Structure 1
Amino acid sequence: MEMMRLNLPPYPARVKEADGRRQIFDILRRKYVALTPEEWVRQHFIHYLIGYKGYPAALLANEVPLQVGEKRVRADSVLYDRQLQPRLIIEYKAPTIPLTQKVFDQITVYNLLLHVDYLIVSNGLETYICKMDYTNHTYRFLETIPDYKNINNL
């Protein structure tokens, strides 16, 4: 299974074969996980945030468990501030999955619990980021993902 080239900088992914399945090393979870198209996007995106945007790996988490009513779900990635309050949620899709309203609805449900400042959705080919404005009950899309050092100033 050849992985699709993404609109994210390449990085030296650590991929191995185990029990007949391909796995990729997740630097945040510090273990090998199943190499799915969505995981390919997640790993590239995390490396992009850390290597190009200055996000501290220690403040990022993958597969964050949440409870929505009776339903248990997982946010794909969450960025925390130094007080360990969630600041940003990222939802990934495989490159072949279009970023539709349904994807935004999914991340919005997670945000009802976490109440973060930024929401990002990406399939590795397209990425959207929006800044929440809770005072005016609106949001605005940003042109680019802010560098970590600027995330509090937007």
Structure 2
Amino acid sequence: MQKLNFSKYSFRFKSSENNIQIFDEIRKKFVVLQPEEWVRQNVVQFLIHEKKYPKQYINVEKLLKVNGLNKRYDALVYHPDGSINIVVECKAPSVKINQATFDQIARYNLTLKADLLMVTNGLRHYFCRLDYKNERYIFLNELPPNN
């Protein structure tokens, strides 16, 4: 898989039915290794090892209803009280991050109401804090660590 703009992490792989699979420690199962999945797995390790978010507060690839449509978010980080701290949108490295990507995560966040957003294709990462009072994004240089 392509080298991403993350630290080097250790992963478990296996080959099954002509597919390479990677072990997702959040879902506790092997999943097919596609470019977007490679980014998602690196994001999970980044959240755990670099930003010190506990695994039990991270959720990956779950169904979400947005305007009556079924969507899937890539990753969430919860606060201990169950409210949502971070929504993460992952794209494959070949996908450029653009306004449509931010529009997608903003639509998801209408339902989720997170404090922070992270958008990444593994090569470029964008972080922002939501200012709900003034209805704007505040872009950050990096994702705040768990405190």
TM range (shorter): over 0.9
Deviation above 3 Å: which 4+ runs of structure 1? none
Q: CA deviation at 1:52?
A: 1.2
Output the TM-score relative to the length of structure 2: 0.97
Q: SS of 2:38's equivalent?
A: helix
Matched ranges for 1:65-144 at <5 A: 65-144=63-142
Q: Is the 8 A contact 1:87 1:116 kept in 2?
A: yes
Output the TM-score relative to the length of structure 1: 0.93
Distance in 2 between the 1:34 and 1:70 partners?
Answer: 28
Amino acid at match of 2:98: T
The answer to which of 112-121 and 65-74 deviates more is 65-74
Distance in 2 between the 1:81 and 1:145 partners?
Answer: 15
State the superposition RMSD in angstroms: 0.8
Any idea what the Cα deviations from partners look like across 1:77-117, whole Å, max 9, x if unmatched?
A: 01111111112100000011000111101000100001111
Which residue matches 1:27? Answer: 25
Give percent identity, aligned residues only. 41
Q: CA deviation at 1:33?
A: 0.5
Q: Is the 8 A contact 1:64 1:78 kept in 2?
A: no
- The gaps in structure 1 that reach 5 residues or longer are 150-154
Which residue matches 2:5? Answer: 7
Q: SS of 1:9's equivalent?
A: coil
Any idea what the Cα deviations from partners look like across 1:119-146, whole Å, max 9, x if unmatched?
A: 1100110000000001111111001111
Amino acid at match of 2:72: R
Q: Is the 8 A contact 1:28 1:61 kept in 2?
A: yes
Which residue matches 2:53? Answer: 55
Distance in 1 between the 2:122 and 2:74 partners?
Answer: 14
